[in-house]
Amino acid sequence: MLIAKTMNKILFITLLFLISIGFGVSAQQTLTLSEAIETARRQSVDAAVALNELKTSYWEFRTYRADLLPEVNFKGTLPDYRRSYSLYQSEDGTYKYIRDNSLQMSGEISVDQNIWLTGGKLSMNSSLQFVSPLNMPGASRYYMSIPVGVTLTQPVFGVNDLKWKRRIEPVRYREAQASYLEDVEKVTLKTITYYFELLLAKENLHIAHQNKENADRIYEIAQARRKMGQISENELLQLKLAALKASSNLTSEQSNLNAAMFQLRSFLGLSENDSIDSAIPEIADYPEIGYTGVLSKAQENNPFARNIRRRQLEADYEVAQAKGEQREISLYASLGYTGQDRQFGSAYRNLMDYQIVQVGVKIPILDWGKRKGQVKVAESNREVVSSRLKQEQMDFNQDIFLLVEHYNNQARQLRIAREADEIAQKRYATSVESFMIGKINTLDLNDAQVSKDNARAKYISEMHLYWYYLYQIRSVALYDFINGTNLDAEFERLVRE
């Protein structure tokens, strides 16, 4: 009678145990991987930093563009009051101090245009000067006007800075745009890492819960079997230790989950009250990606390609600057009309023309080879830059090759890990059933449990690496290989937000 009751109890516990395995508790999905990525791109600190760097580059480019446009300027002295003594030499050669007590005012408005083709500046100006002696009998105030004047300032042999800027600055801004897209993809890579750390912590916690429940039930069943003499005291103690270890692991995994939750929540810019539940992302297909295609898109889209071109241009610019500083010749020419009178209106009548032409020359006669040395230094630096760029290009190509190899290998590893996880889950369920009827011992059961846990952790880790490599290729090529489109952004809208 006692044996029958004991057997019924074992069967009842076993039935509950198997039901609990078949109907495991699943966490509610509140944040998918794609939603986490979108949230990070929209409100993470890293995304904000990338956007502000883009805005800085945009306004630097706008400043360069403004240098190519006409500029309207006004300058004036309003007023210039003087009450002082100035040294004056008379016709007989003697010196004396003369009192200067006057009020002067002047103003000039000009339209200035840089000439990028020659590096000069053309200005059209109009000005008016007024002087009024104070407390000086017999002295009269005067107006002097320049209704219209044209001025040209032109360096002859110096480096044309504006022409070089026209070659460098557009490349620099395109580099900044590509860098922004790359930085956004780096935000995605961080999100993937934090998301899968949370996912792995959640899975480990789920496994720890399941293992604890299983260990407790198995220990309870083992107690009944011990009373029936089916297992030894040593096996019973092993199962009790397994139950205690499962409780300890549950506490540890709960702490790991809280840490991973906080890390992802902080990165996404969410509050501490926001609840995040991660879910294993679905993978419909594993796209095959070739090295040639990734390299071609990277050379077309990656900021590294613009970076190489910009650094080459900057090295050439430094050589041109060094050569231009060997001699300095500048041309200044100004012509227009001017008038003067005691009355304001009359100062704009009876105009006279004026012309000013100046040629400034600065040529070193003896500098002990200083300027020639500066040219040689600039040329040597250009050769160094060229050599470094060649090496960096080779390293860049090699990194892409290895990355593509890692990705394609990871796709195969993920398929294997998924199949291994399914097999390990089935094996554990079978081992539990076999243990219930006494066909295997506790060592075999523990081995099946460890294999199951390791297979699930391996599957999550392999999936993390797969998504990481996939988006790392995206960040390098700035190309979506799943949808077959280049990555892009509405830059004008972004910089004006």
Predicted confidence (pLDDT) per residue in 131-163, tens digit: 888 866 666 788 888 889 999 999 888 888 999
Residue where the block lists tokens 């780096």: 186
| Amino acid letter, residue 225 | R
Q: Hunting for tokens 């030894």 — which residue is that?
A: 232
> How far apart are alpha carbons 33 and 39 in whole angstroms?
10
* CB contact at 8 A, 143 and 49: no
How far apart are alpha carbons 251 and 452 in whole angstroms? 20
pLDDT of residue 417: 92
pTM: predicted TM-score of the whole model, two decimal places: 0.80
Q: What is the mean pLDDT of each run of 10 residues along the chain (497 residues)?
A: 44 43 41 90 92 94 92 89 81 80 88 91 91 74 88 88 93 94 94 92 87 81 74 78 87 90 89 81 81 93 93 93 85 89 82 80 80 89 94 94 94 91 89 78 78 88 92 93 88 84
Three-state DSSP state, 350: coil
Task: Give the pLDDT score at 52.
Answer: 94
Length of the chain: 497
Residue 415: what residue type? Answer: R
CB-based contact 263:36 (threshold 8 Å) = no
Q: What confidence tens digit (pLDDT) does each residue in 384-407 have?
A: 999 999 999 999 999 999 999 999
Element (H, E) at 150: strand 142-155
Tokens coding 52: 């502000």
Give SS3 for 92: coil
